[in-house]
């Protein structure tokens, strides 16, 4: 069974938003339409669609009737859902108010809600699918139907140009269509050609159909129909046509879009629910509070070493960062090759990844993430903890966070850092943090050297650090500073006078190096 909140979550915020949750029936049982001019029969747990409620008084009367018969929620369109009289009546009746997007069609919503309830009633129901994702079988049948209407081969794609389904008929084709179907997404070069012709700009502007003539590179004409619901672009249908399509046939092709939209919403609702459950399990085991056995079973994790990978989007644009995190989530899926164990904590995306080589392992994911960064989607910093057993993932997460902090501070080169590869920097950083807290930089001659540099513009502190890091090699030390070896020797003589310590004493050199490391790495 499923709650009102669960139904809203599965359908998604594009269409439904719970504006007034109240105590009421714990589960939803059915969907009921409140028709005009008749008393609606309402039972316990019903979702009541206020189709005929166009005034505040009508909405209040319906809510009271529903409350007296145990309804779970009343679905209203704005502005009724936000009116104070409506909300007061809902609280008194113990009925939850759910706001429906103003552009959503009631008939489509009824179908979608009943689909969600059917799926919830039998979570183990096998939905037609070709690659494990729910709803794909229906989409393939819809692609076949659309192909028959437009008399042309058809693909159904999501908003990111991934191919979700295609018609069995593909007799009229070109290299772009072949590579699209084989790769299950539109290739980047093909996307660039269509983008340069303004196709995606037209898709976003709300046109019903878009005709793209043949191109000089041999790409055949396309008839494109955007798939929308509630003002949101969910995807598109692409038909490879011989030339301009008659208006009647193009309109019939476009008529299939609302039906496809419902299927895409259903698929997204089911996937989103699965993703949220997966994320909850990942958050629990990364914090060390969840059941490892439960997470291992539900996330389908193998009993082998795994790493926790932390991915940070380095941008000040909040909306842009959110978009990049979603894109990275998809790249992780591509890199692992299956449903990933991913969760977002704060502003960081975490993935639990097997440490094996080959498909689905950390090396493959690292390669995918580095390639995407190199291709211009910069701003992503990737840090991996050491490989651990599943019961120790919280430790790997702490290591990933520590490595990510080094990337953020610019102490190691971006975009990827693994905990075991940056051990030397970690030692110095931990030393600096501990030494700074103990106040070690305030001891001995170091404060005098710092004061001299500030007063006279000298570089005694930098010179001493270089000399200590290259013991006995004046040429290497001077080269790191960009000065002549004689200049280095002169500065060291002056440092010896100012410091008043024996630089030949190994304990003095070690103490000074510790101080300088704390000063530079904190």
H or E stretch including 404?
A: helix 393-409
Average pLDDT rounded to a whole number, residues 227-254: 89
* DSSP code, position 208: S
* DSSP code, position 221: P
Distances (CA, A) of 110 to 15, 101, 107, 113, 367: 12, 13, 5, 5, 45
Q: What is the pLDDT of residues 71-83, one digit of tens each?
A: 999 999 999 999 9
Average pLDDT rounded to a whole number, residues 417-423: 91
Closest CA to 59 of 31, 19, 88: 88
pLDDT of residue 373: 47
pLDDT of residue 124: 33
Q: What is the pLDDT of residues 449-495, one digit of tens each?
A: 999 889 988 999 999 989 988 888 889 999 989 999 999 999 999 99
Average pLDDT, the chain: 81
Dihedral-angle region of residue 263 (phi above 0 means left; psi in -120 to 50 means alpha; beta otherwise):
alpha
pLDDT of residue 290: 76
Instruction: Using alpha carbons only, give the angle 458, 460, 462 rounded to the nearest 5 degrees.
Output: 110
Q: CA–CA separation, 44 vs 501, rounded Å?
A: 87
pLDDT of residue 84: 93
H or E stretch including 236?
A: strand 232-240
Tokens of 235: 């995807």
User: 4-33 as b/e, with b when 16 or more CB fall inside 10 Å?
Assistant: beebbbbbbebbbbbbbebebbeebbbbbb
Q: CA–CA separation, 409 vs 312, rounded Å?
A: 13
Distances (CA, A) of 492 to 211, 458, 502: 76, 12, 12
Q: CA–CA separation, 134 vs 223, rounded Å?
A: 27
Side-chain half-sphere of 271: how many Cα atoms within 13 Å? Answer: 14
Q: CA–CA separation, 22 vs 19, rounded Å?
A: 10
pLDDT of residue 397: 93
- Can you give the length of the chain in residues? 522
pLDDT of residue 74: 94
CB 402 within 8 A of CB 412: no
Domains of the chain: 4-121 (3.40.1390), 136-265 (3.30.450.40), 291-421 (3.30.70.270), 440-521 (no CATH)
Q: Does residue 17 surpass a pLDDT of 60?
A: yes
**Predicted TM-score (pTM) of this structure:** 0.47
CA-CA-CA-CA dihedral for 181, 183, 189, 194, to nearest 10: 30
Q: CA–CA separation, 37 vs 350, rounded Å?
A: 54
pLDDT of residue 42: 87
Please state whether the peptide bond connecting residue 14 to the residue before it is cis, i.e. omega within 30 degrees of 0.
no
Band the pLDDT of 240: cuts 50, 70, 90: very high
pLDDT of residue 334: 52
Distances (CA, A) of 434 to 116, 120, 429, 447, 450: 55, 54, 9, 19, 21
DSSP codes, 78-103: TTGGG-HHHHHHHHHHT-EEEEEPTT
The residue ranking higher by pLDDT, 227 or 302, is 227
Per DSSP, helices labelled H in 221-256 are 247-255
Q: What is the pLDDT of residues 121-168, one digit of tens each?
A: 644 343 334 344 444 457 888 888 888 889 899 999 988 888 888 887
Per DSSP, helices labelled H in 151-256 are 175-183, 188-196, 199-204, 247-255
Residues 6+ apart with CB under 8 A from 153: 147, 166, 167, 169, 170, 171, 172, 173, 177, 239, 240
Residues 6+ apart with CB under 8 A from 427: none
What sign results for the dihedral spanned by CA atoms 206, 210, 215, 219? Answer: positive
Q: What is the pLDDT of residues 283-341, one digit of tens each?
A: 888 888 878 888 778 777 888 899 999 988 654 444 344 445 545 555 555 545 455 68
Question: What angle do helix axes 485-499 and 446-456 make, rounded to 10 degrees?
Answer: 120
Q: What is the pLDDT of residues 170-205, one digit of tens each?
A: 778 888 887 777 666 788 788 888 888 888 888 888
CA-CA-CA-CA dihedral for 216, 220, 223, 225, to nearest 10: -90
Q: What is the percentage of the chain residues whose pLDDT exceeds 90?
A: 25
CB 47 within 8 A of CB 28: yes
Q: Does residue 431 surpass a pLDDT of 90?
A: no
Average pLDDT rounded to a whole number, residues 101-105: 78
Average pLDDT rounded to a whole number, residues 515-522: 79
Q: What is the pLDDT of residues 203-222, one digit of tens each?
A: 888 778 999 999 888 889 99
Band the pLDDT of 61: cuts 50, 70, 90: very high
The residue ranking higher by pLDDT, 60 or 361, is 60
Average pLDDT rounded to a whole number, residues 371-375: 48
pLDDT of residue 134: 42
pLDDT of residue 340: 64
């Amino acid at each position: 069974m499923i709650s009102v909140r669960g139904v809203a979550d599965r359908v998604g915020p594009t269409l439904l938003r719970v504006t007034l949750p109240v105590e009421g029936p714990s589960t939803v049982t059915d969907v009921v339409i409140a028709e005009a001019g008749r008393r609606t029969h309402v039972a316990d747990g019903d979702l009541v669609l206020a189709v005929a409620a166009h005034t505040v008084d009508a909405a209040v009367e319906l809510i009271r009737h529903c409350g007296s018969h145990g309804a779970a929620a009343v679905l209203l369109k704005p502005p009724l859902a936000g009116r104070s009289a409506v909300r007061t009546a809902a609280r008194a009746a113990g009925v939850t108010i759910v706001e429906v997007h103003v552009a959503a069609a009631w008939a489509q919503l009824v179908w979608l809600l009943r689909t969600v309830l059917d799926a919830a009633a039998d979570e183990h129901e096998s939905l037609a699918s070709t690659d494990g994702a729910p709803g794909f079988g229906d989409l393939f049948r819809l692609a076949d139907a659309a192909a028959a209407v437009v008399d042309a081969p058809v693909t159904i794609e999501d908003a990111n140009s991934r191919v979700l389904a295609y018609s069995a008929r593909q007799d009229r084709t070109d290299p772009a269509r072949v590579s699209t179907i084989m790769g299950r997404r539109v290739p980047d070069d093909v996307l660039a050609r269509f983008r340069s012709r303004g196709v995606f700009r037209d898709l976003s502007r709300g046109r019903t159909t878009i005709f793209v003539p043949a191109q000089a590179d041999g790409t055949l004409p396309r008839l494109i129909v955007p798939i929308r619901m509630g003002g949101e672009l969910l995807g598109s249908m692409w038909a490879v046509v011989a030339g301009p399509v008659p208006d009647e046939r193009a309109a019939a092709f476009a008529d299939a879009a609302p039906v496809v939209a419902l299927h895409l919403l259903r698929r997204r609702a089911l996937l989103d629910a699965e993703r949220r459950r997966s994320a909850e399990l990942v958050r629990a085991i990364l914090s060390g509070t969840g059941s490892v056995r439960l997470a291992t079973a539900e996330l389908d994790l193998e009993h082998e070493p795994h790493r926790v990978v932390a991915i940070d989007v380095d941008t000040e644009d909040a909306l842009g960062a959110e978009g990049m995190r979603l894109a990275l989530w998809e790249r992780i899926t591509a890199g692992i090759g299956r449903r990933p164990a991913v969760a977002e904590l704060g502003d960081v995306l975490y993935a639990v990844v097997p440490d094996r080589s080959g498909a689905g392992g950390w090396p493959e994911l690292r390669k995918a993430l580095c390639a995407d960064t190199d291709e211009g989607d910069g701003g992503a910093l990737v840090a991996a903890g050491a490989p651990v057993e599943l019961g120790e993932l919280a430790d790997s997460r702490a290591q990933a966070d520590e490595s990510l902090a080094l990337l953020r501070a610019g102490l190691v080169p971006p975009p990827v850092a693994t905990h075991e590869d940056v051990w030397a920097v970690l030692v110095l950083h931990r030393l600096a943090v501990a030494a700074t807290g103990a106040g070690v930089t305030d001891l001995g001659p170091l404060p005098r050297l710092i004061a001299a540099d500030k007063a006279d513009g000298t570089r005694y502190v930098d010179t001493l650090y270089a000399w200590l890091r290259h013991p006995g090699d004046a040429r290497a030390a001077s080269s790191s500073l960009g000065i002549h070896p004689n200049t280095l020797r002169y500065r060291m003589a002056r440092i010896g006078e100012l410091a008043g310590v024996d630089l030949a004493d190994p304990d003095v050199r070690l103490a000074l190096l510790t101080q300088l490391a704390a000063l530079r790495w904190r």
